Amino acid sequence: MYSSKGKAVVKVVSGNFLEMFDFMVYGFYASAIARTFFPSDSAFASLMLSFATFGAGFLMRPLGAIILGAYIDRHGRKKGLVITLGLMAAGTTMIAFMPGYEEIGIVAPLLVLAGRLLQGFSAGVELGGVSVYLSEIATPGKKGLFVSWQSASQQIAVVVAALLGVTLTTHLSAEQMTSWGWRVPFLFGCLIVPAIFIIRSTLQETPEFASRKKHPTLSEIWQSIFHNWRLILAGAAMVVMTTVSFYMITAYAPTFAKNELKMSELDSFLIAMLVGLSNFFWLPVMGALSDRVGRKPLLVGATVLTVLTAYPALIWLVSNPSFSHLLIVELWLSFLYGSYNGAMVVALTEIMPIEVRTTGFSLAYSLATATFGGFTPVVCTYLIHVLGDSAAPGIWLTLAALLGLAATLFLFRSHPSMAGKQTSPQPTGF
């Protein structure tokens, strides 16, 4: 039983690894990508365009959540997860092999944008599809632990992407990294696609979905989304905290370390790798803890601590920049992220109506990333530039935590049973 479920977890999160690996690589090499596809006399303008393209991919997530989510809720978890993998691979390939601006002009950044939009469309339902799959195969009383592996698999992607960055930075010059070195991680992503596709194609349908006699039609899915719009918006507000914190301490961290703290690329990649390992540890630990004490204590505790410490920690860091100080701040924020996300993702699967569980989860998650989380690197860059305050990203994270706290209190007041340990199916809406 446990062996077969363990294999199923590995199979389903393998594609999730690729999705996050591609996003991390783009964030880590934003500066090099900016010079390749978005040349400008202003380094700030070039970086802003690169990060804006990174964020643009998230704008497609809600559309992917609705279209692909409806497909998964109607036709099955397995079929939909195989489709999302193919779309993600296509977007990655476009970016990896795209000639630069100097070779083909304006067509280059436009096609890179198209690749990011395709990735975003696929990712719109990837997280939801994986999370729902894990929640439906979970051993009773261990749903938090099982679902936490969705996020934990992303951290492996962070570590691998950072490790590649350390290796490339050590062996290549800055000029080589800018001209072609940044493409190597994307090529790596392309090479592992066939293996991941084979692994995911052997997935079995979840027993819960397979046992249902009737699956919703498209019109019924739309009606349920409309009926539960308050639930979906509240869920999106709850997700904001996790997406902003994650992209701040991972995708944006190397750029922040290099531009604001004046650290080497090697140091910034080492930090990112250590943060990924920290996230990987805390996520399943906190997911399992939420099975014992309930979701609410972790969600409230993590958001309150973030509100109290995020900006002061950044102020202390920029006033005393060093490798050790950056590591301390990043590991603290990693602990807060892991505590919150370990409980948040499983809670989101539990509050969604079963007949539109994938669509509702994916739409809530996608709205959060499209409006807040995915644009964290560009917002942080802009805030620092406008306010003249290198600690300004702490303000953005504080606002996200306040929103997450408010959404948590609202949702758990509407669903009182969620405040305790989760061992039974949850209500299907307001």
Model pLDDT, residue 69: 77
> Among positive and negative, which fits the CA dihedral 75, 80, 86, 90?
positive
**DSSP string across 239-293:** HHHHHHHHHHHTTSHHHHHHHTS---HHHHHHHHHHHHHHHHHHHHHHHHHHHHH
**What are the per-10-residue average pLDDT scores of the chain (430 residues)?**
68 75 78 81 77 77 81 72 79 86 87 85 76 84 89 86 85 84 87 79 68 66 79 92 92 88 88 92 95 94 98 96 95 97 91 77 86 87 94 97 95 66 40
- Phi/psi at 382 (5° precision): -70, -45
Structural domain spans, the chain = 2-199+217-416
Model pLDDT, residue 397: 97
Quick one: how far is CA 344 from the chain centroid?
A: 13
Among 2.60.200.20, 1.20.1250.20, 3.40.50.150, 3.90.1150.10, what is the CATH number of 2-199+217-416? 1.20.1250.20
Give one word for 141, left, alpha or beta, with left for phi > 0 and alpha for psi -120 to 50.
left
Model pLDDT, residue 219: 73
Give one word for 393, left, alpha or beta, with left for phi > 0 and alpha for psi -120 to 50.
alpha
Query: Alpha-carbon distance 385 to 63, whole Å?
Result: 32
Query: Alpha-carbon distance 136 to 134, whole Å?
Result: 5
C-alpha distances (whole Å) from 121 to each of 63, 88, 341, 348, 362 are: 7, 8, 22, 20, 11
Nearest alpha carbon to residue 86 among 205, 201, 206, 202: 201
Query: Alpha-carbon distance 106 to 108, whole Å?
Result: 5
